[in-house]
């Protein structure tokens, strides 16, 4: 068994800026609030021994760089996150992995916002004389607390009145260009499922996963959904699933 190698992380959380990152929740090209977090995998052993800030990643530099992005314009949230990761990798050649988390609290109507997580590492490219390049390790888009009102349930009253379903999505994207018009793509989820009718949450989350994979062209999707109005003394029953394109390899889309 290989020896365990601990991973130390230096981070700055939720630096608040205003920036253009594609379309806003009203599908306008206007600045919107964004919270940026940066996590840098490194070793803190030397600084732990010397107690000297010069022997570690100076998080003041991280904070000032993130703050300098206020008022800037990016094609989309991916471009913003990638620029942050690239800066962190270039700031110190010893860093092997960095992660940028961008939260758009007003990025999507009827939700608590959009969160985009990008992790980038350095690798030596084959056949390029040892050239080092940035390689994307993780590219995850999350939608928090999307509220969809639809007909769902088996009770007589549930078949008459729409009720809220609170949905949390985690989407793995393989196509970076998709992320430039997130508000438009994700609004389609709301419109499609507000008009839907289901008896069970199981059918609801399964249909939503298929829609994200085949209609919105995401590679993998995690769906968590619950009905907050069902029980008086609980947040409600819920279902959570994880699906990918491979899940439907032997079925028709």
Which domains are delineated in the chain? 8-248 (3.10.270.10)
Residue keyed to tokens 């490219």: 125
pLDDT at 1 (0 to 100):
44
Residue from 244, 109, 245 nearest 182 by CA? 109
User: In angstroms, rounded to a whole number, what is the distance separating the alpha carbons of residues 172 and 175?
Assistant: 9
Could you list the mean pLDDT of each consecutive 10-residue stretch along the chain, which spans 253 residues? 65 97 88 96 90 88 97 92 92 80 93 93 65 79 95 94 96 66 79 94 97 91 96 92 89 55
pLDDT at 174 (0 to 100):
61
Residue from 77, 144, 153, 76 nearest 110 by CA? 144
The model's pTM: 0.87
pLDDT at 53 (0 to 100):
86
pLDDT at 222 (0 to 100):
97
DSSP-assigned states of every residue in 78-124: HHHHHHHHHHHHHH-TT--EEEEEEEETTSSTTSSEEEEEEEEEEEE
Per-residue CA distances from 207 to 13, 90, 218 (Å): 35, 43, 14
SS3 209: helix
């Amino acid at each position: 068994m290989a020896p365990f190698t601990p991973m130390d992380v230096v981070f700055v959380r939720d630096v608040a800026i205003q920036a253009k990152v594609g379309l806003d929740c009203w599908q306008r090209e206007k600045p919107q609030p964004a919270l940026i977090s940066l996590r840098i995998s490194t070793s803190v052993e030397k600084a732990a021994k010397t107690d000297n800030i010069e022997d570690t990643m100076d998080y003041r530099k991280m904070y000032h760089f993130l703050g300098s992005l206020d008022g800037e314009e990016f094609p989309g949230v991916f471009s913003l996150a990638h620029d942050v990761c690239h800066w962190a990798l270039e700031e110190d050649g010893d860093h092997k992995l960095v992660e940028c988390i961008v939260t758009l609290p007003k990025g999507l109507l009827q939700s608590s916002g959009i969160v985009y997580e990008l992790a980038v590492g350095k690798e030596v490219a084959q056949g390029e004389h040892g050239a080092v390049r940035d390689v994307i390790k993780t590219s995850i888009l999350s939608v928090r607390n999307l509220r969809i009102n639809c007909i769902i349930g088996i009770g007589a009253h549930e078949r008459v009145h729409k009720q809220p379903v609170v949905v949390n999505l985690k989407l793995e994207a393989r196509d970076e260009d998709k992320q430039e018009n997130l508000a438009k793509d994700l609004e389609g989820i709301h419109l499609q499922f507000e008009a839907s009718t289901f008896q069970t949450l199981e059918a609801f989350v399964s249909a939503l996963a298929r829609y994200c994979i085949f209609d919105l062209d995401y590679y993998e999707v995690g769906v968590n959904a619950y009905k907050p109005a069902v029980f008086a003394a609980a947040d409600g029953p819920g279902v959570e699933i994880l699906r990918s394109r491979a899940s439907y390899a032997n079925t028709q889309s």
